[in-house]
Structure 1
Amino acid sequence: MAVTRCTKMAYSSADEMVFGRSVTPVKTGLGLEIGAGYTIPEVNYAPRPEAGVSKEKLIKEYERITTDIMARMVQIGAPAVVLETEHVQQMSNNPDWGAEIAHAQKTIMEDYHDEYGIKCALRHTIGDIRESRDFLDLRGDKYSVFMEAFEQCAQNGADMLAVESMGGKEVFDHAILRNDMAGVLYGIGVLGSMDMEMIWQDIASVAKKNNVIASGDTDCAQANTAMYIAGGLLDKNLAHTLAIIARAISAARSLVAYEAGAVGPGKDCGYENTICKAIAGVPISQEGKTSTCAHSDLMGNLTMQCCDLWSNESVEYHGEFGGTTVQCWSETLAYDCALMNVALESGNEKILRDMFVASDLNRDAQGYVLAYPNAYRIGEAIARNGDDIYLRAKNAAIECINIIEEGAKKKLELSRFEAKALSDAKDAFESLTDDKDQFMSDCLTKYKQEVKVFKPENYGL
């Protein structure tokens, strides 16, 4: 499929953006329309490790998970739910495993839909298995298995296809540990975008052929890594200002999925999704306070601001006092969505949205930049040079720095450590050329020498 670059915003202003509504809603699954005026819980889960010893045990585990979620949703009167199955490696390395699990899950979901009328859909996120022991192998022997996993899931019950792709990670990992902003920009904004352009044209073709939805990607491998290293307010392993610069760049990368044929909803762990929604108008999934079962963040309410699906990131399946983990977390998500949906129905959605934002706005630079008015500005910076994957990623980084500097003059507090990292990053980005070819040439030479696991052939270079 052809790639159509995004060079303008889907919304005329940031204030138009709210939760539960998107410019281009997505119809999928059993009666669902995502981004069409209501929010929907998206439950994410992982099987217990011992369940992966055989295909039969893994299928049974996912049958239990699916039944538990669907039963709890009906028990509490939730009108709709999305299930996201993030593949464990066995399911993507053996595409028939993923296919049989998708079929088993969808059969259960159809039974609940037919008997109780609950609207539902199944998303399968294929694992990015394109690696050997020592290297990424993005275009090598595993590519055909990777795409076969998408194909078989699409044929056997998955309504939506997604992935957390890893292109550029070998350079990013080297760069982020050295505060090397050119390397972060090259890894996420250039190499990551180049890889996504290749795989998402193929994923979109699979989805179209099988009449399912090519949903979206997320920069979990890079921007989320930066966020996790940065940690909380006591941590100084990585400046939070650098983590949010990586996140801003990641929006230019994650946007490529929609340019190559994906239609949303964006995946939950893409904290960059509000920026992507502002540009592309697609519905998005988000996570925040409900993902504490998987990780902590500093914007647990703020991320609800523009979500269409509301997710828990992932939780291992086991028992809790209130039921199994998936029952407990699906119920929590459903009640959050009920509140947002009442706000939509009563015309109070912008009031609730702004309360979500205000509760986290000045807690940390990361939440400050991702607040929808500032996320919209990052989107404008990307769209301004939307045809150039390098310039738009660089624009995003510089606009991110500008936003933080403005915030620091208001109520956003920066420690000396954070302010110094921001100042150094600003100098680094302002010193970079505007010429994509020159930047590409310089980086290729530099990182071929510095990063032993960097294989340019992974990107057709």
Structure 2
Amino acid sequence: MAKYTEMAYDSPEEMVFGEAKEPVSYGYGDAINPGGGGVVPVLKCAPRPGSEDRPKKLTNEYKKIARTTLERTTTLGFPAIEIETEWIHQMGNSPEKFAVGPVSIQDELCEEFNEEYGISTATCHTCPDLRESERGLRPGMDKETFYPEKTLASFRVAAENGADVLKIESMGGMEIADYGIQRQDIKAFLFGIGYLGSVDMEWLWSQIVDVAEKNDVVPGGDTNCPAANTSMFIAGGYLDTDVARTFSAITRAICAGRTLVAWEVGATGPDKDCGYEGPIVKSIAGKPTAQEGKDCTVAHADLMGNLTAQICDLWTNESAEFHEEFSGWSSGTWAEAVGYETSLMNTAKQLGMDKDLRDMYMASDRYRSPESYIIAYDNAYKIGEAIVENGESYYLRAKAAAITAAEMIEEAEANNEMELSKHEKDTLSQILTDLRALPEDEDKFVEDCLEEYADVPKFDPKNYGL
């Protein structure tokens, strides 16, 4: 497996929304072409509680979600829409029983609307990672629930029944990452996500890419939503103090190397939208990135709602519950929101003002938080450079990304570009001290961590071949 050791772009200024070095095409029609010159709107809507009682009932729910999404998009004259389904537990736990219907019916409706109205359509399926570290992450280890086997089976079912793109929010390394977040232990997070998570990604995505290629389906990408987003959400905003936002920002830099692994083993992008590390990995690989921000307020709050649109290739609302609003079904409401936002981006491209809009998106939130500062596209590029300079080692590239991000924030605060509280500055200082004290040798780091974190609940080195 070849790892990334050079940047896809000569400078950060080359990067802009709707354009990637390696665009992809899929779906019905010719407008679902992420990175090929325009930004694609993506609608995500979750079924109502109770709709999962029976397979037929769940299929009907997903049929309504797709139809109402496609109707609103067509009514408003938008040229394209991608429908993403983040599978619920029942679909992953019993894919043949609960997932075949939803996957196939949404594909059928997308084809129908393309043929009848000319709108470009596609479906993306994010299969759930049901694996539990205490039971075992690899096939043959979990003798009770067989979650590793079910996770892989989900991709086969999705690919065989009409999915255009496959994605996942994988869970490798989470038992150590959770421990690190709770204690603001950056070494634990680096071990859990930068190293263990990358090792797990290499195995898992090799399987996903194989399924995708056998079924002529696009293997999209992953995200560190379970860990880095957990850190981000707990850090919260200006009224929250449980986790320092400087700590959260460094975890985002660390996770970029892990997210990159999917593409290194053969995935093509787009990556998963809730990976706020998208600007970093796009700068390295040149593959299209899906992003979320101000149109995902129905799911959560963040401090970078405009900035995340800066170099996206798909724009999504995050997951909203399917229900009725004053204007109609919520699926249509959010399809309209992402449709108009991408229309603005694509119009800016047509007028030759896309980089002006990019910079306005970025400047709006650049100094709102340490995390928004490090993923501003120019700084994301610098973190990307640190990763590729150490590209052959999962550990060293994650460590380099973390130190680069921390030093950026420290310098911004020293130059009065960003104001940090004493708690934030003290946490940042401790992070830098801890990171700089780590060994240069990967084997030594792993050996130390296996001893230090041996008693962390649910951690079993066998899950990672150690």
TM range (shorter): over 0.9
Q: CA deviation at 1:452?
A: 2.5
Where does residue 62 of structure 1 map in the other structure? 62
Q: CA deviation at 1:369?
A: 0.7
Residue identity (%): 47
Mapped to 2, the partners of 1:120 and 1:406 lie a distance apart of 45
Mapped to 2, the partners of 1:136 and 1:416 lie a distance apart of 42
Any unmatched runs of 5+ in structure 2? Answer: none
Per-residue CA deviation, residues 191-226 of structure 1 (Å, 9 max, x unaligned), is 100000001011001000000100000001100000
Residue 112 of structure 1: SS of its match in structure 2?
helix
- Aligned counterpart in structure 1 of residue 431 of structure 2, from 425, 430, 448: 425
Amino acid at match of 2:447: S
Any unmatched runs of 5+ in structure 1? Answer: none
Over aligned residues, Cα RMSD in angstroms? 1.0
Residue 420 of structure 1: SS of its match in structure 2?
helix
Q: Does the 8 Å contact 1:138/1:167 carry over to 2?
A: no
Structure 1 runs of 4+ off > 3 angstroms?
134-139
- Aligned counterpart in structure 2 of residue 144 of structure 1, from 140, 145, 149: 149
Q: CA deviation at 1:323?
A: 1.1
Q: Does the 8 Å contact 2:17/2:354 carry over to 1?
A: yes
Where does residue 252 of structure 1 map in the other structure? 257
Mapped to 1, the partners of 2:346 and 2:25 lie a distance apart of 18
- Mapping of 1:97-246 within 5 angstroms? 97-131=98-132, 135=135, 137-139=137-139, 140=141, 141-246=146-251
Q: Does the 8 Å contact 2:128/2:169 carry over to 1?
A: yes
Q: Does the 8 Å contact 1:136/1:170 carry over to 2?
A: no
Amino acid at match of 1:417: H
Q: Does the 8 Å contact 2:293/2:306 carry over to 1?
A: yes
Q: CA deviation at 1:131?
A: 2.0
Mapped to 1, the partners of 2:276 and 2:138 lie a distance apart of 24
Where does residue 275 of structure 2 map in the other structure? 270
Where does residue 81 of structure 1 map in the other structure? 81
Mapped to 2, the partners of 1:452 and 1:412 lie a distance apart of 38
Where does residue 355 of structure 2 map in the other structure? 350
Q: CA deviation at 1:411?
A: 1.9
- Mapping of 1:248-327 within 5 angstroms? 248-327=253-332
Amino acid at match of 1:234: L
Residues paired across the two proteins, number = 457
Where does residue 27 of structure 1 map in the other structure? 25
Amino acid at match of 1:373: D
Q: CA deviation at 1:136?
A: 5.4
Q: Does the 8 Å contact 2:237/2:303 carry over to 1?
A: yes
- Aligned counterpart in structure 2 of residue 333 of structure 1, from 334, 338, 346: 338
Amino acid at match of 1:350: K
Q: Does the 8 Å contact 2:17/2:313 carry over to 1?
A: yes
Mapped to 1, the partners of 2:102 and 2:120 lie a distance apart of 20
Q: CA deviation at 1:120?
A: 1.2
Q: Does the 8 Å contact 2:373/2:379 carry over to 1?
A: yes
Residue 105 of structure 2: SS of its match in structure 1?
helix
Q: CA deviation at 1:418?
A: 0.5
Q: Residue 14 in 1 paired to residue 12 in 2?
A: yes
| Range that drifts further, 142-151 or 290-299 | 142-151
Where does residue 451 of structure 2 map in the other structure? 445
Q: Does the 8 Å contact 1:244/1:365 carry over to 2?
A: yes
- Aligned counterpart in structure 2 of residue 366 of structure 1, from 365, 371, 380: 371
Q: CA deviation at 1:142?
A: 2.4
Residue 286 of structure 1: SS of its match in structure 2?
strand
Q: CA deviation at 1:101?
A: 1.1
Mapped to 2, the partners of 1:252 and 1:452 lie a distance apart of 25
Mapped to 1, the partners of 2:82 and 2:45 lie a distance apart of 12
Residue 419 of structure 1: SS of its match in structure 2?
helix
Q: Does the 8 Å contact 2:231/2:243 carry over to 1?
A: yes
Q: Does the 8 Å contact 1:214/1:262 carry over to 2?
A: yes
Residue 41 of structure 1: SS of its match in structure 2?
strand
Q: Residue 436 in 1 paired to residue 422 in 2?
A: no
Q: Does the 8 Å contact 2:33/2:40 carry over to 1?
A: no
Q: Does the 8 Å contact 2:399/2:435 carry over to 1?
A: yes
Residue 214 of structure 1: SS of its match in structure 2?
strand
Per-residue CA deviation, residues 303-349 of structure 1 (Å, 9 max, x unaligned), is 00000100011100001111111110110100000110011111111
Mapped to 2, the partners of 1:137 and 1:267 lie a distance apart of 21
Q: CA deviation at 1:135?
A: 4.7
Q: Does the 8 Å contact 2:56/2:101 carry over to 1?
A: no
Mapped to 2, the partners of 1:179 and 1:226 lie a distance apart of 9
Mapped to 1, the partners of 2:202 and 2:248 lie a distance apart of 24
Amino acid at match of 1:233: Y
Amino acid at match of 2:5: T
